[in-house]
Structure formats: structure tokens, C-alpha cells
Amino acid sequence: MDNSSHPFPLPATLPRDLAAVHAYWRGLRRGGNEMPFSDDLNPAALSQEAGQVLLLDVFDKPERFRFSQLAGGLLLAQEAALSGKFIDEVDLNAPLAFLRAQASATVEARAPTCYAGDGITRLMLPLWGDGHVSLLLGVVQTR
């Protein structure tokens, strides 16, 4: 995808914690695959790298996203209100502003995306399963 027209391009340099999660994600890829498989992800392995992690289940046709797991910081405080809910069922405020748009762009691009605004930087990483992008790994860093 042409990075100049991508709505959520990766910056030339990611903040340290986000770069660590991005490196972990890249390390999960098998062979020449462009993204890892969702069953290779171990969320517990991320706890040391990023304090604010979220997992979104991806549903295809119609495209919907459901909060699967949240951990750390501001996200943990919202876990009870968000866990198991679809993105379109909740109000998305910082640090989750524009999450639906970013999630959709990540699925469409089949590649990592980054959002920076509202005092946060958020990285979204796609994972493959069941013949489509089935899971999104997100990590949020407050500035």
C-alpha cells in the first residue's frame, strides 16, 4: 500500500514500547507470511513490553470489532465496561478515539497502522485466522 495515501501510516520511528510490541509481532510471522497467525499470539508475553494492550476480535461480513481483552493503565480502568462489547456499542473517547476507523484500516491494509493524537500513540497489528484477519493486537502509549 502506498504509505502517502494510508490514513494511519507507521511513523519512521515508533516510541520504544510500541517498537518492542511491533518487533514481537514481526517475530511471530511464519516463513514469508505478511502477518502472524492469531493462535501464535501469547498476550502474557506482552505484559513487560507494553502496559496498555488491547485485543479486538474481527468479524467479517459485516465487518465488526469486539473487545476481547484489555490490560494496563487507562485501558484496564475501562475493562469492565468494554470487555466483550462491540466497538459500535460503546462511546470511544481517548485513548480509544478513532479506534473503529483505525481497526478497519488495519484490516483493509493487512498491515500495521498507527494513530497519534489526543496525547496518545496507538499501534494496531493484524493477525490471521480462519481465512481472514481475525484478531487485532493494539498497544497504546500515553505521551
24 in Cβ contact with 127 (< 8 Å): no
- N-to-C CA span, the chain: 28
The pLDDT of residue 76 is 57
Residue 4 pLDDT more than 60? no
pLDDT digits (tens, 9 = 90+) for 10-48: 999 999 889 999 999 999 999 889 999 999 998 877 765
The pLDDT of residue 143 is 74
What's this model's pTM, rounded to 2 decimal places?
0.89
Average pLDDT, the chain: 87
Mean pLDDT of 89-94: 84
85 in Cβ contact with 91 (< 8 Å): no
Q: What are phi and psi of 12, to 5 degrees?
A: -60, -35
CATH architecture of structural domain 16-40+51-142:
2-Layer Sandwich (3.30)
**Which residue blocks in the chain are alpha helix, DSSP H?**
16-28, 73-77, 79-82, 99-109
pLDDT digits (tens, 9 = 90+) for 106-116: 999 999 999 99
Residue 2: how many other CB atoms lie within 10 Å: 6
125 in Cβ contact with 25 (< 8 Å): yes
Residue 74 pLDDT more than 90? no
- Chain centroid to Cα 77, Å, comes to 18
33/28 Cα distance (integer angstroms): 10
The pLDDT of residue 50 is 58
Residue 62: asked if its preceding bond is cis (omega within 30°), the reply is: yes
